[in-house]
Structure formats: structure tokens, C-alpha cells
Structure 1
Amino acid sequence: MIIKDNEFVDLQTPTGAMRTHIFRPAAPGKYPGVLMFSEIFQITGPIRRTAAMLAGHGFVVACPEIYHELEPLGSVLAYDEEGTTRGNAHKTAKPVSAYDSDARAVLDYLKTLDYCTGRLGAMGICVGGHLAFRAAMNPDVLATTCFYATDIHKKSLGLGMNDNSLDRVGEIKGELLHIWGRQDPHIPLEGRNLLKARLEEVGARFTWHEVNGQHAFMRDEGPRYDPALALQCWTLLLELFHRRLGYGDLSTQAEATPVESRH
């Protein structure tokens, strides 16, 4: 599908205005909504391309700036030592409750859009994988994909570095897809096993994939990108989201409007 990728909205949250970037099919019709969380660097080129890929498969994708309280709206951190240090510092400077209210604000916004069906999913990468995991605790989130979600096993997200994500696993009622890189030093085997055991304990509905990849193997920029693995993981993600969220309600007007057609 041809998409629109230059839209954003500044949503009001309990902790201030949050810029949220929207990627969606250009063709008329209604599509499922996906809340997509970025890495610590916010809405970078690779994150925009990831959101565009998802939108091109028939989803309305909303990407919030996760550090809107800490950086000017529209800020993007660089994939370098300075950006990494700044992003990691921000990760533990923001209360977990603020991350949760951000997620709720985006989910509520998606439901108001006349081009969204109201069937909602979440996804995230790195710290965004953890944020998507927490977003899945909202009962209206039907499917969630987490790529190498950091800090769940350490309970170290947010101000005070003592989050309750593991404790709240039982609140997740939708279906989960977890994808991990076995060579990722940020989430070692014991950390992955801890989370998997907790999911099993509460009877969560989930699938679990560990691949031979490094941290950030999905990011289409830099030395750790693995295109072959990324393609496999896209197949897994799209199967889950189309099965649980649907394909939307594409208007017949699409075929009569060449500029906004499916292809």
C-alpha cells in the first residue's frame, strides 16, 4: 500500500504534550491501530522506516516520542556514544507511571480516528519492547510484539529503577510475540528464562523466538543489522497482527482513486 508518513499530533498527557508520529495507508478505509514504541533514540530514520513498513501492510501506526518530558518536541538522539548515554539516562529519569499514561493516551487517540477500526495492538524495540509489554496490560490491546525487550528481567525501568512489569504479567490478556537475539548481551539467557517462566506461570498466551542475532539486529542501519533475520521476524509479526487485529475495512473508493490506491 502507498502510505502517508508525514503526519503528527501533539497529544496531551498528564506529564505534558507528547508528539506522536502517524504512519498510515493512503487509501480510504479503516485499518487496525498499532502503538509502536521506539528505541532510546526516539523517532530515528530506522524507526520511521519500520513504522512505514507496518503501515504499508495495512495498519495505522502511532509512534510517540518516549522522552517528551525530557527533550524538546521533535528531538532525535544520534546513534553514537553521546546519544546512547543521553537516551539511557532518560530511561531511568522518567516515572514508570508516565510511560503508562503515555501508552494510554496513544491508545485512546487511535480509537478516535475515523480511519482506524479500533482494534489495537502494540509493538516496540529495545526499551520500546518493554514499553510495549507494559502497554499490553491494557485490556483493549489484543496483540503485542516485543523485540529484545530490555530491563524486564532486571526490574530497572524508570525512575527508581524498580518497575513492576514482572509482577503484572497476569494482567496481559492479549497475545504476545517475544523475539530475542541469543547474542544480545543486554538480555542474557537467565534473564530471558526468568521472563519466560513468569509467562508460563500465569498462563499467558504467547509465542517465543530466540534467533542468532545481536542486539539491534532489526535496525536497518549500523553493523549489527541482519536483513535475513529481520525478514523472518517481519513474517512472524505480520501473521500475529493480521490474525488478531484483522485486515481492516478497505473502502471500495480505493480502486477509483489512483493517487491513494492500495499499490
Structure 2
Amino acid sequence: MPMSVETSTITIPASDGSGSFSAYVARPAGEARHGAVVMIQEIFGVNAAMRALCGWVADMGFVAVCPDLFWRQQPGVELTDGSKEEWDRAFALMNGFDQDKGVEDLKATLVHARTMPGGNGRAGTMGFCLGGRMAVLMAIKSDSDVNVSYYGVGLDGLTGQADEVDTPLLMHVAGADKFVPPPAQAAIEEGFGRNPNVTVHSYPGKDHAFARMGGHSWDGLAATIANGRTAELLDRTLNG
């Protein structure tokens, strides 16, 4: 039987004093103390898919915190991959997104997650698509205890900073990702693979977003394998 999960929405102040942003929270019910995972959205915002992923993380026994990274452009974005109009809006938001500000907002969320009631002081990140890139940036730029990247975009441009990753980073690469061509994938595996703190897994023939349940390229087997690897790493780093 799934663990009982409690959900809420919290507000976190931005570290630059420019305002505050909301974050969706899913936590295991009860009094036990748990590690936290900062969940990093795709280009579609904190939508039903991200809330479901937060529920999955909470069901595994972790506190999931998913901040609204598009708040500086438009708070409360919730899109899907179901129409061209939504895709166009999602790409416009991604193109207008300040990644440096996003890293600072994620760092603020990480600090908050470590001090939340029911936490054990440990916290990592897990991101998808745009969030997969942001998870790698957090591995490079923050003191997160662990980071997990699902089909991150533009990661080949970060290989020059791979040596700066000093905590566990797990990277799931979709072998047939239309946003990450084979030369970029080879550069990712070569550049990040040299760092013993980084593990790169490729899923041949699988498209971008293969682990988004109900999405256009969902693949149950690949998602189960990837999610199992993620679960083992989170258990080892946030509960060990």
C-alpha cells in the first residue's frame, strides 16, 4: 500500500530580495525525519506531471519541494505537451528564463528544504528537461548532497565545469533525444564520465521525456530502470 502523503504550498523568499516564489510540497505523513529532494520543473511549469513526481518521491519516504522557477516571468505556469500552443508558450518561457537567477532560487529552496519540519538536514535535487540542466548546474554550483538529471538539455556546454562536481551526480540520457543529438551525448559521456562523482546512464532508442508518465514519449521499462537507479542513490545519500 502506498505511503500516506501530505501536500501543501509554501512561499520562499528570493535571495536577491526581489520578491518570493511558491513551491509545491509533498511529504510522507508521520513524525519520522526524512531527507528532502528539490524537484526541478520541465519547461511546462509546476504542472500535474511535476506534482505526480513529487508524490512519487514522497511515497519513497522523502520530502519533495518543487519551486516555481518561472515566477519572475509568470507565476503559476501549468502547461502540458498536448498542443502546439502550449509547446510554443513553454519554449518562450524557457528562452526568457534567467538560469543564473534560477540557480539562486534553487539554492534558496535547498536552504529552506534542509530546515523544513520533518527533514533530516540533508537535501538533493532532481530535475527533468530544463530541470535536468538545472540539476547539473546545482551539482556544479551548490552544496547539494546529491543531484539527479533526467534528459537535461545543453549539458555538452557544461563539460568544462565537470571537475567542479564534488557530490554524487546521476545523469539519465535519452539515446534518441531529439533535443540532444549524438555528438552532444558523446561529449556529455566523455566530459562528465571522467569525474568519479558522476554516473552517466544512456537509454538507447528512448526519446526525450521517456520518464514523464502519460507524456508523448513515455517508456515504462526505461523509466522503471532509471527510477530504480535514482531511488537507490537517494536512499544512499539522503538516508544513509
Q: What is the TM-score of this pair, normalised by structure 2?
A: 0.91
Cα distance in 2 between the residues matched to 1:67 and 1:167: 27
Deviations 1:211-234 (A, max 9, x none): 131111111113311112211111
Offset, 1:204: 4.1
Give the match for residue 196 of structure 1. 189
Counterpart code for 2:74: E
Cα distance in 1 between the residues matched to 2:123 and 2:227: 18
Give the match for residue 4 of structure 1. 6
Note closer, same or farther for the CA distance 1:104–1:222 as it changes in structure 2 (3 Å cut). closer
Cα distance in 2 between the residues matched to 1:24 and 1:146: 21
Cα distance in 2 between the residues matched to 1:87 and 1:206: 29
User: Is the counterpart of residue 134 in structure 1 residue 137 in structure 2?
Assistant: yes
Q: Matched residue of 2:232: which SS?
A: helix
**8 Å Cα contact 2:39/2:125 also seen in 1:** yes
Cα distance in 2 between the residues matched to 1:222 and 1:246: 31
Cα distance in 2 between the residues matched to 1:77 and 1:182: 25
Give the match for residue 184 of structure 1. 177
User: Is the counterpart of residue 53 in structure 1 residue 56 in structure 2?
Assistant: yes
Aligned residues: 234
Deviations 1:38-83 (A, max 9, x none): 11001121211111011111101110111011113x2312322122
2:200 to 193, 204, 208: 208
2:155 to 110, 134, 152: 152
Cα distance in 1 between the residues matched to 2:123 and 2:217: 31
Structure 1: runs of 5+ lacking an equivalent: 156-164, 248-263
Cα distance in 2 between the residues matched to 1:2 and 1:32: 16
Counterpart code for 2:197: R
Structure-to-structure mapping, 1:1-263, within 5 angstroms: 1-5=3-7, 7-13=8-14, 14=16, 15-72=18-75, 74-79=76-81, 80-153=83-156, 155=157, 165-201=158-194, 203-211=195-203, 212-246=205-239
Deviations 1:170-200 (A, max 9, x none): 2221111111111111111211111222224
Aligned-pair identity in percent equals 24
**8 Å Cα contact 2:28/2:61 also seen in 1:** yes
Q: Which has the higher helix share?
A: 2
Taking only aligned residues, the RMSD between alpha carbons, in angstroms, comes to 1.6
Cα distance in 2 between the residues matched to 1:99 and 1:222: 25
Structure 2: runs of 5+ lacking an equivalent: none
Cα distance in 2 between the residues matched to 1:244 and 1:132: 16
**8 Å Cα contact 1:184/1:214 also seen in 2:** yes
Q: Which moved more, 1:120-129 or 1:92-101?
A: 92-101
Q: What is the TM-score of this pair, normalised by structure 1?
A: 0.84
Offset, 1:143: 1.5
**8 Å Cα contact 1:139/1:174 also seen in 2:** no
Note closer, same or farther for the CA distance 1:222–1:110 as it changes in structure 2 (3 Å cut). closer
Q: Which moved more, 1:17-26 or 1:88-97?
A: 88-97
Note closer, same or farther for the CA distance 1:205–1:98 as it changes in structure 2 (3 Å cut). same
